[in-house]
Amino acid sequence: MEKELAKNYNPQEIEGRLYAKWLNKKYFHAEADKKKKPFTIVIPPPNITGQLHMGHALDNTMQDILIRFKRMQGYNALWQPGTDHASIATEVKIIEQLKKEGIDKETLGREGFLKRAWEWKDEYGGRIISQLKKLGSSCDWDRERFTMDEGCSKAVTEVFIRLYEKGYIYKGSRIINWCPVCQTSISDAEVEHEEQAGHFWHIKYPIVGSDKFVEVATTRPETMLGDSAVAVHPDDERYKDLIGKMVKLPLVNKEIPIIADAYVDKEFGTGVVKITPAHDPNDFEVGKRHNLPEINVMNDDATINQNGGKYEGMDRYEARKLMVKELEEMGLLVKVEDHVHNVGTHDRCKTTVEPLIKQQWFVKMDELIKPAVEAVKKGDVQFVPERFDKIYFNWTDNIRDWCISRQLWWGHRIPAYYCEKCGEVVVSKDTPDKCPKCGHTHLKQDEDTLDTWFSSALWPFSTLGWPEETEDLKYFYPTDVLVTGYDIIFFWVIRMVFSGFEYTGKAPFSKVLIHGLVRDSQGRKMSKSLGNGIDPLEIIDKYGADALRLTLITGNAPGNDMRFYWERVEASRNFANKVWNASRFIMMNLEKAQTGDSIDPKTLTDADKWILSKANTLVKDVTDNMDNFELGIAVQKIYDFVWEEFCDWYIEMVKPRLYSDTDETKGSAIWTLKQVLTISLKLLHPYMPFITEEIFCTLKEMEGKNADDESIMISEWPVYEEEFAYQTEEEAVEIIKAAVKGIRNVRTDMNVPPSRKASVIVVSENERVRIIFDNSKVFFATLGYAAEVTIQKDKTGIPADSVAAVIPEASIYMPFADLVDVEKEIERLTKEKVRLEGELQRVKGMLSNEKFVSKAPEAKITEEKDKLEKYTNMMAQVMERLQHLSK
């Protein structure tokens, strides 16, 4: 039995079936093939703890659009998938699970914990992958990788050893972000800055040997326990004579120096700042310049340590309250100002992050970053849109050494071993048999693991087999495009760029396509706390993946945030229905008159040539837009063409030919319908893969081909063809369209129902225009609701009461009597006049009633005045129309 499209479009019925077919046919799989040009995208690896959210949906839809587009263009397209082990996120989840079971992480021990972590990965790691499949993602799932699989782990160890041997990796004490709850250092990427209402406490620091003091303002009074100095600007005239003197540190009862440093902003606050090198990154740098002691006053859980004297053991905020109270009692608290400032919190547990000086492993960045800077300056790596290179350079210009160690168990363990006898550090792929310095055989591996970003920085090449010189690496690397959100440029993109140059000598990709966030309809960021998150899977279940994908890309511009509206999902679903129903209509007519793959151009009408020419131009425009990553602009052009030009105009134009048994151009109409439908489906496929595949394969089966062996995703992308550039015919049909729109506007203004036909007389002195209307009489009559069409050079014989629609180079006349039954219209208008007289009498009566005017609310009075104006205008129109008809 020949396949046909179901009566109604049902995405739930087609999507799972088609995706299974694509997987079975290995359409997503790519192998190195030197006869074809490669095109590679690596997926930003989602966390194994992840649940598909709108950001993932947008990011992966954009990648899928590009990969499907390039695949159809004949590229050997590889979309490399995989997941990230996400050290902290995963560890937090597992600890939560253990707590429910009454198990303590420390009691379980490292080996037991890691066993549970791998079990977690096996159970939940594939969840987001299955969700990406529901979205239609055409990744090469045969190549799926994991940041802690054997190959990626080998690459991580290799990189650590290489950097260590070059002197780029070192262990030292520097300021890092510390989470007191998770008890680990965290990267800048995991610190969320949020505005919080706080205070500026103004405190007197007495100057030793005088009765004077300097006034210091701070947002964190508890850190003053670790102050090593106070600083002023060297050019600040107010304090020049104090430089080199000592102040007494309140509450601690010790003397610290007044130093001069250009870091101090003379205009901000009092112009005097406290310097706490162990608790502030800027103070740390000042401390290094002035050789100041680094005094850490906090334990890992953010309680005060033994350096805090009598405050030892107190929580940081508890100590703050007590210290402020005591300063006030001592007369050293000048004032407290309200102050809104950005506070860093850990994105996982929402705890306020504490900048602390810690012994950690770091990557020295000053040399590593140089090629990454040059690559963007020279254009070897380009941002789309270009403005994001400013953010990139802002980060590279202010680069700090990268803290790569984490106090976690889940992750790549640092390949450093310590001799338990002499303390020698040995960095090695495997546990050394003995200490190279003293020969002792007991060496213990470093307890810390590496920052998750350390492994994901290698993702574009570690997934292709590096450090081995594999065929895949040689063929698919460097990759072509990285698609990511603007919130991750610094943390991931830059690290991949400098890593690519350091280990492969090449940039990992040539383009970085940046997208914005998907916000709610009010423009707010989607979050659990606001409860405004929208689950993409719910949309897929209700409306289908194609509707979600189209919604996410319509109106989307690179780098810009977009708002999510349910109405737009409905509109996308309506568009899918429009495409489906138009396809069914075309297929029903194809069955009646089979046509071949070619046509004699002489048999094509102006209407056929118009739509073929429009489709041809669309192919060129859409291809250009997609090559320039203007995905939102491209799909809007496809949408407008399919809905308006093809469905609303051309299909209506050809219906008289399709329904005629004698029209000799019927075959040309059917061939054109099939041709334009196929082009439209192909252009639409990267955006809406499922519906286009179902229609395309059904079309192929109607042509006698096996639908199982056919797929739109491996068909050829349309190309612009000069032979289908019909400029003259395009102009001709646009004239007809203008005339039809003019007729429809007149009829709408006069409330003429579509069922009422009228004689239409086209008047034009231009012979070319008259020929155009003559050639298009059949469909012009249908679209213009014409009982008959007359084409003439002048106004001879046109009834005096005719109404006209004017277009360039022609006027279109319709006898008034054809449009309106005069007696019935007079009767209708007379009734309307009586109704309006009643309404006007009522409104005027109310507004002239002083009791009503004095007591009624202002809004009610305004409402009645508006009604008076409205009914007065309506009455004037009715009277004018009655007067005209009575003539």
- Please determine, for residue 501, whether its predicted confidence score (pLDDT) is greater than 70: yes
- With contact defined as beta carbons under 8 Å apart, do 780 and 605 qualify? no
Going by C-alpha positions, the residue among 786, 784, 798 that lies closest to residue 759 is 786
Q: How would residue 1 be classed by pLDDT, with cut points 50, 70 and 90?
A: very low
Coil, strand, or helix at residue 678? helix
| 417-423: long-range contacts, CB 8 A cutoff, minimum separation 24 | 417/443, 417/444, 417/445, 417/446, 418/443, 418/444, 418/445, 418/446, 419/443, 420/444
Quote the pLDDT of residue 593.
66
Beta-sheet pairing, 810-814 with 803-807? antiparallel
Quote the pLDDT of residue 153.
97
Quote the pLDDT of residue 468.
96
Going by C-alpha positions, the residue among 214, 355, 330 that lies closest to residue 273 is 214
Quote the pLDDT of residue 596.
60
Quote the pLDDT of residue 705.
78
Q: What are phi and psi of 372, to 5 degrees?
A: -65, -35
Pick the CATH number of 184-356 from 3.90.550.10, 3.90.740.10, 1.10.760.10, 3.40.1580.10: 3.90.740.10
* CB burial readout 652-682, b (16+ within 10 A) else e: ebbbbbbeeeebebbbbbbbbbbbbbbbbbb
Mean pLDDT, range 157-169, rounded to an integer: 97
288 among the known binding-site residues? no
Q: Does domain 562-724 have CATH number 2.40.50.140?
A: no
Mean pLDDT, range 694-712, rounded to an integer: 86
More confident residue, 473 or 400: 473
Give tens-digit pLDDT for 609-656: 999 999 999 999 999 999 999 999 999 999 999 999 999 999 999 999
Mean pLDDT, range 792-801, rounded to an integer: 87
Round to whole Å and give the CA distance between 560 and 382. 17
Mean pLDDT, range 792-816, rounded to an integer: 87
Longest dimension (CA), the chain: 120
Q: How many CA atoms lie within 13 A of 147 on its CB side?
A: 28
Mean pLDDT, range 812-816, rounded to an integer: 89
Which range (154-163, 576-585, 675-684, 752-761) has the least confidence? Answer: 752-761
Q: How would residue 527 be classed by pLDDT, with cut points 50, 70 and 90?
A: confident
Mean pLDDT of the chain: 92
Question: In 293-353, which ranges are E strands?
Answer: 333-346
Q: Which tokens in the block code for residue 473?
A: 């690496």
Which range (486-495, 540-549, 624-633) has the least confidence? Answer: 486-495
What one-letter code names the amino acid at 57? A
Mean pLDDT, range 71-100, rounded to an integer: 93
Integer angstrom CA distances of residue 885 from 743, 826, 872, 880? 20, 7, 20, 9
* 74 contacts: CB under 8 Å, gap ≥ 6: 36, 37, 716, 717
Mean pLDDT, range 518-526, rounded to an integer: 85
- Please determine, for residue 847, whether its predicted confidence score (pLDDT) is greater than 70: yes
Mean pLDDT, range 496-508, rounded to an integer: 97
Mean pLDDT, range 23-40, rounded to an integer: 96
Give tens-digit pLDDT for 288-297: 999 999 999 9
Round to whole Å and give the CA distance between 52 and 58. 10
Q: Which residues pair with 763 in a beta bridge?
A: 792, 811
User: 823-886 is classed in which CATH architecture?
Assistant: Orthogonal Bundle (1.10)
Place of tokens 């399709």: 658
- Please determine, for residue 3, whether its predicted confidence score (pLDDT) is greater than 80: no
Which range (60-64, 555-559, 822-826) has the least confidence? Answer: 822-826
Q: How many CA atoms lie within 13 A of 563 on its CB side?
A: 7
Quote the pLDDT of residue 306.
94
Percent of the chain exceeding pLDDT 70 equals 98
Round to whole Å and give the CA distance between 607 and 127. 51
Round to whole Å and give the CA distance between 562 and 554. 10
- Please determine, for residue 490, whether its predicted confidence score (pLDDT) is greater than 80: no
Global pTM reads: 0.86
Coil, strand, or helix at residue 811? strand
Mean pLDDT, range 236-254, rounded to an integer: 93
- H helices of 307-462, where? 316-329, 370-378, 388-397, 452-456, 459-462
More confident residue, 478 or 490: 478
Quote the pLDDT of residue 231.
96
Which range (32-46, 717-731, 752-766, 822-836) has the least confidence? Answer: 822-836
Which range (325-329, 442-446, 640-644, 793-797) has the least confidence? Answer: 793-797
Quote the pLDDT of residue 595.
60
Domain ranges for the chain, please list them. 184-356, 417-443, 562-724, 729-819, 823-886
Q: How would residue 597 be classed by pLDDT, with cut points 50, 70 and 90?
A: low
Which range (57-66, 374-383, 595-604, 672-681) has the least confidence? Answer: 595-604
The CATH class given to the 729-819 domain equals alpha beta
Quote the pLDDT of residue 826.
82
689 prior amide bond cis, ω within 30: no
Integer angstrom CA distances of residue 93 from 97, 301, 349, 415, 449? 6, 20, 11, 26, 17
More confident residue, 748 or 29: 29
Mean pLDDT, range 16-22, rounded to an integer: 97
Quote the pLDDT of residue 594.
60
